[in-house]
Structure 1
Amino acid sequence: MSELQGTVQRLYSPGEVALQLKVERQTITKYARLFETVGFTFHKDEKGNRGYTDINVMMFRDLISQKSKPGITLESAAKSIVSIYKDKSVTDTVTTFPVEIERYNSVIEDKLDMLMLAFQKQQELIESQHKMIQSLQSEIQQQNHYIDNSLKERDKKLLENMNLLQEQKKEQSEVIKQLAITKESEKSKRSILARWFGK
């Protein structure tokens, strides 16, 4: 187990290396590209982002120190440093992730939590709206039932009134018929009386 632990190296993000060396983040990226042009290989994740080991940090420190010496260019300093550290180029033993990736994962988890909360609230809203729709449907059914009953009642009364009117018309017709019969009868009586009494 201790042998395995010895092979695993800590990876630093460019930002972390910049903080350690008190330089700009872009400076670390610039130096890394310079080392790569002279044949050094850094660890990269699946997205192509570099991760730096403690040895890489020492290389950057040496480069900063050598570039300040008179007569030494950045390129020549990089070449000499790479020749020293060439055997320390990245290998498969580098398996840890930079702190920035951990922070990124933490941010992703927070966003997922927020999304889950928003989803839960949306589900509650949908459920509330569903209950409201059911309530409205029930109300509409009750109103339709009431309207149906009201219409039935109205139709019934209308029918009753029409029947009543027909009955009244029949009665009136009967009365008129009786009056006509009575009139004819009286006319007939008068005609008989007129013949008898010569009037």
Structure 2
Amino acid sequence: MTGDINEGQILMGPSDVCTLLGIKESTLRKYALILQDAGYKFHVNDKGQRGYFERDVIVLKRFMEIKQSSDMTLEQAAEAVMAWVQQSNMAVSVIEKKTESDRYNDDMQALF
């Protein structure tokens, strides 16, 4: 496996994600490839098949919103989503991973 499976999170298949987003599987593949080219990391099994966590569905939904509401190309929309992901610290697979103790240290420092 090339991606980390996060405990407690459900890994969805493409058909589930398509149902949630109201898109065709070919469209999902296209969007996922564009986001991957922009640097987003999806879970991929040893057969090269993508699996989607809830955070991935949120990122895809955001991508769809941005591409619909502006005159951006799909690639520009993907870059905008990546900036949003990094700014919001939403997807740990895109951003430098922190150990659990580092995360708690950051939280403790924020309190002081």
Q: What TM-score do the two structures reach when normalised by structure 1? A: 0.40
| Greater helix proportion | 1
Who is 1:178 aligned against? none
Number of residue pairs the alignment of both structures matches: 86
Note if contact 1:41-1:89 (Cα within 8 Å) is conserved in structure 2: no
2:13 paired residue number: 13
User: Does residue 1:40 correspond to 2:53, yes or no?
Assistant: no
Quick check: 1:60 aligned with 2:60? yes
Residue 82 (structure 1) aligns with? 82
Question: Greater relative contact order: 1 or 2 (C-alpha under 8 angstroms, separation 6 or more)?
Answer: 2
Q: Decide whether aligned partners of structure 1 residues 89 and 36 sit closer, same or farther in structure 2, where only a CA change above 3 A counts.
A: farther
Q: CA deviation at 1:56?
A: 0.6
The alignment status of 1:22 with 2:18, answered yes or no, reads no
Identity %: 28
Distance 1:14 1:42 in 2: 12
Contact 1:11 1:51 in 2 (8 A): yes
Q: Which residue of 2 aligns with 1:181?
A: none
Instruction: Output aligned runs, 1:176-195, within 5 Å.
Output: none
Matches within 5 A, 1:1-199: 7-86=7-86, 87=89, 88-90=91-93
- 1:40–1:89 contact (8 Å) kept in structure 2: no
The CA distance in 2 between the partners of 1:89 and 1:40, in whole Å, is 10
Post-superposition CA distance 1:89-135 (Å, at most 9, x none):
549xxxxxxxxxxxxxxxxxxxxxxxxxxxxxxxxxxxxxxxxxxxx
Paired residue secondary structure (2:34): helix
Consecutive unaligned residues of structure 1, counting only runs of 5 or more, are 1-5, 92-199
Determine the C-alpha separation between the residues in 2 that align with 1:16 and 1:82: 23
Deviation of 1:7 (Å): 4.3
Distance across 2 between alignment mates of 1:69 and 1:85? 18
Contact 1:43 1:90 in 2 (8 A): no
Which aligned runs of 4 or more in structure 1 are off by greater than 4 angstroms?
Answer: none
Give the whole-Å Cα distance in 1 for the aligned partners of 2:42 and 2:93: 5
Structure 2 vs 1, CA of residues 40 and 89 (structure 1 numbering), >3 Å: closer, same or farther? farther
Partner-residue secondary structure (3-state), 1:79: helix
